[in-house]
Homo-oligomer: A and B are copies of this chain.
């Protein structure tokens, strides 16, 4: 398929936050031209010529940490302390999940990503096969990371999945990972470290999300999760941490030195009362940041606009400084930073030869007017209602509120509710 987007504003993100008028061509899955209006070859026939009417074309957002199948728990159990939420509500429900459930609930999440201009997700869950299939079938792009722990999966399974899903489909990739220090034994972590060395692969995990998690790790191992995991050799080939709310100076220094990514999840961190990650400090140290929504059980939505506002707003609160974490930095994190953390270096900007993962932002809505500064309008005032179109790998999956994902949303909602009823029993 070939699409010519014309009459656009372009935020390519190839050179900071600059916006220029121009057009963009997509042929197959790739961007073949971006920039000034270009003379077309005589024979050129477009499948679609799309007049953007002065609206903004930019790279899609990357949801750099989520648990898609947890849509089924959205608003099922809220306003509860963390431990009773997890132990009494989440775990018993998850224990009843079938493979078919995971396929359905993952698709539901993908619909929601598309409405928010998210073009790929970094997903940690189990039933990997169905999670992958939901992404493949809908046309979405997914990077998986294993949620290995003492209760689910095994090192053999992780290795098998690593080999399978890195050679499975052009829109699927797989990173080594484990759930968290507090759910994974030292013996298992050592095996994962061996695997990381064998494949020279980065490793990702939930890290220092809550204060008690850090305190318990110190009590158990005499050191923080980051120091402990680093000592086990898990970060020799990079990787990253999700959340990273409660980090010591030494932890941050390890992240800097090893080039580890931090994926921040501000929506989840407020809703579960986990705290505010020290993003400003991380940026000062040169640590690369991405943004994730976390799963819909703890957020409860998969909306990058909310996360962007929270990412900067919470820094301003934490440091009591309205100038903390500028909008331009947040936008970079939500797009290119996340792409780097996920290894999606072909989806991070709009440039010739890059994969066509992009979105069209409607500037002709009241929350985007007047146009004093488009980038700040997006971060501080933007909403998923501004997402006119979401394209993944050269295919338009969402446009003007309608989905093209090979399934009827209404049928999917009905199926999801039926499955939830059955799980509730």
A interface list, Cβ under 8 A from B: 71-76, 78-82, 85, 108-109, 111-112, 115, 267, 269-273, 275-276, 296, 299-303, 306, 309-310, 312-314, 316-317, 319-327, 364-367, 369-374, 376-377, 380-385, 409-410, 412-413, 416-417, 419-420
Contact = CB atoms under 8 A, between A and B. Distances in A.
This protein's copies in its complex? 2
Which 6 A-B pairs have CB atoms at the shortest separation, nearest pair first? A270-B313, A75-B376, A301-B381, A112-B366, A111-B366, A300-B380
Contact of A271 (B81, B313, B319, B412): B313
A270 B370 contact: no
B275 A373 contact: no
Contacts of A79: 312, 322-327
B369 A416 contact: yes
B300 A370 contact: no
Interface of A is mostly: helix
A188 to B, nearest CB: 29
18 contacts: A71-B369, A71-B370, A76-B372, A85-B322, A112-B366, A112-B367, A115-B366, A270-B313, A270-B314, A273-B316, A273-B320, A296-B381, A301-B367, A301-B382, A369-B412, A369-B416, A383-B384, A383-B385
Contact of A82 (B300, B322, B366, B409): B322
A376 B72 CA distance: 14
Contact of A322 (B72, B108, B272, B372): B272
A163 B189 CA distance: 74
A299 B380 contact: yes
Contacts of A319: 273
Contacts of A384: 367, 383, 385
A417 B374 CA distance: 13
B73 A322 contact: no
B316 A271 contact: yes
A409 B366 CA distance: 8
A53 to B, nearest CB: 10
A237 B109 CA distance: 51
Contact of A417 (B276, B325, B370, B382): B370
Contacts of A316: 270-273
A415 to B, nearest CB: 9
A182 to B, nearest CB: 18
Contacts of A303: 367, 381, 383
B273 A381 contact: no
A371 B80 contact: no
Given A303-B383, A381-B296, A383-B384, A373 B75 contact: yes
A139 B381 CA distance: 24
B369 A317 contact: no
A101 to B, nearest CB: 11
